[in-house]
Structures are given as C-alpha cells and as structure tokens.
Amino acid sequence: MKASIVILAYNQQEIIEACLISLSRQYLQEGDGFEVILVDNGSTDGTGEMIHQLAVNYPLTYKYIPDTVESSRAVSRNQGIVSASGDIVIFLDGDQIPGPGFVAEHLRVHKFAEDKLVIGFRRYLEQGAIAGGRGKALFEAGSLPPFEEDERFWLMERFSENAGALRTAWHLFFSCNISVRRERLIGAGMFNDGFAGWGLEDSELGYRLEQGGGSFIFNKNALAYHVHHPSEFNEARYAGWLANLQHFISRHPSFEVEAQKILAEFFNPQIRISWWDCYVRFENVVRAYQGYEGGRYPVSIIVVYKHSTEAVNAITSEAAGREVAVIDQTALSDLDLICQSIRQAYDVLYYKHPTERQLVELYRLFAARGIWRQQVFD
C-alpha cells in the first residue's frame, strides 16, 4: 500500500528539514511505501533551496504557492491532494517530527478496513528541542527530550480510546496528523476553500466525511512530536476562528456543529478556560442532545491478555445489552481496531495498557455505576 504525505510549509526551514529527515527513518512492511508532497505557502526563508539540496530516501515533490489574499490552508492541502498518487493521504504539519512507526501505523488501519478516518496524535516537545546537536540527537532512539501529551490523550482517559464512543470525534480530526483514502477525500470534495486563515477547515472535513459514511479510528501509535513555537492565541486568531465557525455552521446548521461555540471560551484571550474543560462540556452537551444514556447503567468489564475470537465475540455480545469496558493487555494485536469497529446498541469503552493509576480510576468509576460482570481472557 502506498501513502502520500501532504505537508504544509511557511518560513520554518529548520523545522521542515527535521520533519523531512525523520521521514527517512520510517520502518515499513514489505510492499508498502510513501511519497511526500510539500506545499510551500510562499516561504521567503530559503525553504525551497534547502529542499532541493536535501537527500532523502523517498520521492519528494515541492510545490511553491505564492502567498496571496486567496491563500489558505484548505487551498494548499487541496493542491497536495490532487498531486498525490498514493492510495492513502496522510496530512502532517511541518512543525511535527513523525516517530519511526508513523507511516506504518496509519497504513495498518487502512489495511484493516476501507472506510476508516484515522486520527493520529502528538506530543509537545520542550523549547529548543531541535536546535543544534540536540536536533540531531532527536532522531536517535531513546534520545527524545521531555515532552507533554496531546490534550486528546486526556479525553481518551476520560471517555475512551474508542473514537466511536465520542459523539464529537469529527471535531478532533486535526490535520496535523490524520489520514484518509484519497478516493474518499476527492469524492467528498476535499477541504472547503471558504475557510480563511486558521481553524476548523479540518474539523468540517471530518464532519462531512463522517456524514458520508466514514468512521473514525484513534491510533495512539501514529505519533508525531510537535516542535515548540510561541502561541498565537490572540484577538486576531480568535476573530478568525469565530468567522470560520460561522462558515461551518452555515454549511451544516445542526445542533452538534453549533455546540462548538462552547469552545470559544478557550480561544477567547479574555477568558481562556482550559481546552479540556471546554471540550468535556461540548461532548457532554452533544451526548445529552442525542439522548445518550449508556453511562446510567451497569457496565461489563472484559480484560484481554491474549487476543482470541472468543474474546472478540464476548465483547460484541456484551455491547448488545450494555456498555462494555475492554482492558487490552495484549502485546501485539489489532484489538484496538476491532473494538473501534464494533457497532452495537451500546459503546465499547476501550483502554490499551492503562497505568495502575488509570485502572484504579476506571474501576472506581465503574463501581459507582455498577459492574454487571467481569471476564478475563488469558
């Protein structure tokens, strides 16, 4: 299977170079491969010259687009899509350093099923992590500097690592690390070019793709490392985000889309409530509107140490009658993809290798609801 990785660049020469070098160190299964399409939105810092001198072990296409009033992330990513030749399109921001299994993990999901919309994750590197010798060390195993987790890791602890258990997973379809089959992207009309500046063009695409029959998959192993740079959450960005939100609502006048207004309390620099607090409220409001009641009833717990058909059948059967929490203690398996693909009357709450602290918190939560039964497959 072949992937096309679409990356945007704008005056971040050093970071882009680190991103592209890290892609030379991917491990892939036999028969798999990838190309990179780098779309430059008018850089003036020598990015183009650096690209032409860079030696990498994969096909690299450089597309320079002059910076004009019509420029936008949506337009640039669409340029990358139409230039792509792979079965799968992976979107990666230029300020991300992909881990060595990044491409393989995206392809693992698409080999499993055709209709999946893959959401990868990121970790935030400390300031100066890629500067000088430290930057070279970044690409060696075991030499990563300190980092902070993506806020979406917290959401998975709070709700589930199953994207299907979140009613608002479409909003989390952040184009810094996602993948979709190219034919599905083109069939959906790609990114909408009515979004200007920063924000929500990717969430709107996720919403549209889900409405068209796609389903989301969280893949914690499709991991990239976000290079530190100053925050830009100011009045101008907030105004742009609000304008994009209004465009989103005008295209999809539904309750769940309009409920994103809750997140304005994070983007508004005069308020700046934490993203986590805003998002939990957003998800819970949408759940209430849609009539979700699964959390009111006892839950079944299934602990899996060894992947088997018997375990999968038990999970599927339990989810027909009540929510089932799956504690995945397997080493290597596709149980994460299987659990996220089960469609029953109730949610499958999935957790891969939870820490001891997480287990204590989960069992405390489930005990408060009531535990219907527990099964262990070893």
pLDDT tens for the chain, 378 residues long, are: 999 999 998 888 888 998 999 999 999 999 999 999 999 888 888 888 898 889 899 999 999 988 765 667 889 999 999 999 999 999 999 889 999 999 999 999 999 998 899 999 999 887 766 665 555 555 565 666 667 888 999 999 999 999 999 999 999 999 999 999 999 999 999 999 999 888 899 999 999 999 999 999 999 999 999 887 666 778 888 899 999 999 999 999 999 999 999 999 998 888 889 999 999 999 999 999 999 988 889 999 999 999 999 999 999 999 999 999 999 999 989 999 999 999 999 999 999 999 999 999 999 999 999 999 999 999
The predicted pLDDT at position 104 comes to 97
- Residue of 40, 37, 174, 20 lying closest to 98 (CA atoms): 20
> CA-CA distance, 214 to 338, in Å (whole number)?
15
Which amino acid, residue 36?
Answer: V
The predicted pLDDT at position 67 comes to 73
The predicted pLDDT at position 141 comes to 54
Instruction: Write out the DSSP string of 191-218.
Output: S-TT--SSSSHHHHHHHHHHHTT-EEEE
Q: How many CB atoms lie within 10 A of CB 36?
A: 23
Which one is the CATH code of 2-226: 3.90.550.10, 3.50.30.10, 3.30.565.10, 3.40.50.1000? 3.90.550.10
pTM: 0.94
The predicted pLDDT at position 4 comes to 98
The predicted pLDDT at position 332 comes to 86
Domain ranges of the chain: 2-226, 235-289, 296-377
> CA-CA distance, 116 to 215, in Å (whole number)?
5
Q: How many CB atoms lie within 10 A of CB 375?
A: 15
The predicted pLDDT at position 171 comes to 98
The predicted pLDDT at position 14 comes to 85
3-class secondary structure, 173? coil
Show the beta-strand stretches assigned E in 85-243.
Answer: 88-93, 96-98, 116-125, 147-149, 177-181, 215-226
DSSP 228: P
